[in-house]
Structure 1
Amino acid sequence: MKVIISPAKKMVVNQDDFDVQGMPVYLKQTTVILDALHQLSYDQLKKLWHASDQLTEASYRQLQDIDLYHRLTPAILSFSGIQYQYMAPDLLSEAALTYLQEHLRILSGFYGILKPFDGVAPYRFDMDSRLSIGPAKNMYEFWDDRIYQSLADDQPIINLASQEYAKTVTRFLKLTDRFINITFGHLVDGNIKTRATFAKMARGEMVRFMAEHQVEQISDLKDFDSPNYRFSETDSTADNLVFLRK
């Protein structure tokens, strides 16, 4: 079983809590992306990032100073968005962290795919960034099926990622693959709607639940004990587990 999640735009440097345990498997490809970014002008980067002047200046300095080999932070601690805050990896037991290192994978436009304790440097780059590299017109073409191939032998794949990142896997799925979507929603006039912020919170909580309970079976996910969501048997299918807001 592998669990996939999205990265977060907000990143920090944390070299105090846990040690880096490895390097990203596709670091060679990351250096290619970095070289392409370094060739862009300030104005081109601002357009690529869709960022304000203040954020562009900070991201530009970050890009000029980035070092892929030194002063690295474990990925699970470097990303600090809502999902990661609700995951709270710094409060997990050693057994739970070992579980995450084995089962959790973080998808990334810059690094491709990461284990929780792979060493990363802060960056600003999304999977849907419109950057052409060689014959690849975008990051989906650049990464091609690499991310899928790194997961294909460890099914089922539990999808807690956004569509932007899950697409790096779903576009290559075969009929024999087992890919389980997790939907966190609420009912509006009889229809299930997803609110991004609430979904991010719940995804982080579910990762934490899986780690604390050492989940190995799909059926065990139905026992997710969130104070805000309950499993909906009637709205779920074999490949889409639906949790509705209480």
Structure 2
Amino acid sequence: MIFLIPSAKEMNVDTPTYPQPLSPESQTLVNHIALLSPKELATAYKIKIPAAEIEYQRWQDLKNGQAKTYPAAYLFNGLMYRHLRQKPFTSAEEDYLAKQTFITSSLYGVTPLFDPMAPHRLDFNNKFSIDGQSLKNYWRPAYDHFAQMTSQPIISLLSSEFEDIFSPKVRENFYQLKFMEEKDGQLKTHSTISKKARGQLLYQAAHKNCQTIDDLKSLTFDHFGYQSDLSTERHLVFIKHQSP
């Protein structure tokens, strides 16, 4: 069983490792964006020049192999990652996550959770063109290849921005998880609920050493539980019930 998770905009730089080589796909992307001036980056990112100058230097460092890198699981600091890291990982939990969890990145492609990454500002909504292609189209062959090369069930904990990089025929084989909250007799969902729950579920999957879809269905966390009547074979719904 393999988990796919998104990267995050919020990053926490701590405990740097040595610079790491980029894949050919990532290096091509870096070479293109590193040609842009701070002014052009400010326009592309819709940010002010001082912030764009920081990003400009990051791209130059990446191009020249001088960027400091950090284990991705600790570099990213969004809600999902903070709830995944709710406790220090045991060696068994870290081994599980290292083998079964992959980050979908607009810079690095599909990457193991603990692989080193450099701080960067890039997502699939940025209007960069690489060899005449959008970031989404540029990465799709590599994303599809990753999914097609595994015989294990793929559990998508992705937002639509990241899941849509995979072609429709590949996506239809994913197991998709949805998280909802019971409130005042109604079921509600929003991004905060989903981000927290993705991290919590993944932590529990590692803690319980889940190996099958049925193992996932048995998980309970933060008042969430699997809801069979709202689920289908490949769409699993977890509901957070109100406390008594």
TM class by smaller structure = 0.7 to 0.9
Match of 1:143 in 2: 139
Task: Look up the match of 1:74.
Answer: 71
Q: 2:181 aligns with which of 173, 186, 194?
A: 186
Residue by residue over 1:190-222, the C-alpha shift from the partner in whole angstroms, topping out at 9 and shown as x without a partner, is: 985421111101000111011111111001111
Given that 1:84 and 1:204 are in contact with CA atoms closer than 8 Å, whether structure 2 keeps it comes out as: yes
Q: For this pair of structures, how many residues does the alignment match?
A: 239
Q: Deviations over 1:71-90 (max 9, x none)?
A: 32111111111111000077
Are 2:7 and 1:7 equivalent residues in the alignment?
yes
Partner residue in 2 for 1:163: 160
Equivalent residue for 2:216?
221
Query: C-alpha displacement at 1:93, in angstroms?
Result: 0.5
> Which amino acid is the alignment partner of residue 87 of structure 1?
L
On the 8 A contact 1:155/1:179 being kept in 2, the answer is no
> Which is worse superposed, 141-150 or 56-65?
56-65
State the distance in 2 between where 1:51 and 1:184 align.
33
Are the counterparts in 2 of residues 72 and 121 from structure 1 also a CA contact under 8 Å? yes
C-alpha change, 1:52 and 1:206, in structure 2 (3 Å) is farther
Rounded to whole Å, the distance in 1 between the matches of 2:112 and 2:36 is 29
1:123 CA displacement: 0.5
Taking only the aligned residue pairs, the percentage that are identical comes to 26
The structure-2 alpha-carbon separation of the partners of 1:12 and 1:97, relative to structure 1 and needing over 3 Å to count, comes to same
The structure-2 alpha-carbon separation of the partners of 1:189 and 1:44, relative to structure 1 and needing over 3 Å to count, comes to farther
1:14-163 matches, cutoff 5 A:
14-15=14-15, 27-52=23-48, 55-66=51-62, 68=65, 71-88=68-85, 91-136=88-133, 138-152=134-148, 153-163=150-160
Which stretch shifts more, 7-16 or 113-122? 7-16
Q: What is the CA–CA distance in structure 1 between the aligned matches of 2:197 and 2:116, rounded to whole Å?
A: 26
Q: Are the equivalent residues in 2 in contact too, given 1:77–1:89 (CA < 8 A)?
A: no
- 1:188 Cα shift? 7.9
Could you say what secondary structure the match of 2:36 adopts?
A: coil
How much does 1:132 deviate? 1.1
One-letter amino acid of the counterpart of residue 121, structure 2 = R
Go from structure 1 to structure 2 and tell me whether the alpha carbon gap of 1:35 and 1:192 turns closer, same or farther (over 3 Å shift). Answer: farther
Partner Cα distance (2:93, 2:185) in 1? 37
Give the direction of change, closer, same or farther, for the CA distance of 1:35–1:53 in structure 2 (3 Å limit).
same
Unaligned runs of 5+ in 1: none
Q: Structure 1 40/212 Cα, relative in aligned 2: closer, same or farther at 3 Å? A: same
Aligned partners of 2:124 and 2:187: how far apart in 1?
26
Aligned amino acid, residue 15 of structure 2: Q
TM-score, normalising length: structure 1: 0.86
**Partner residue in 2 for 1:239:** 234
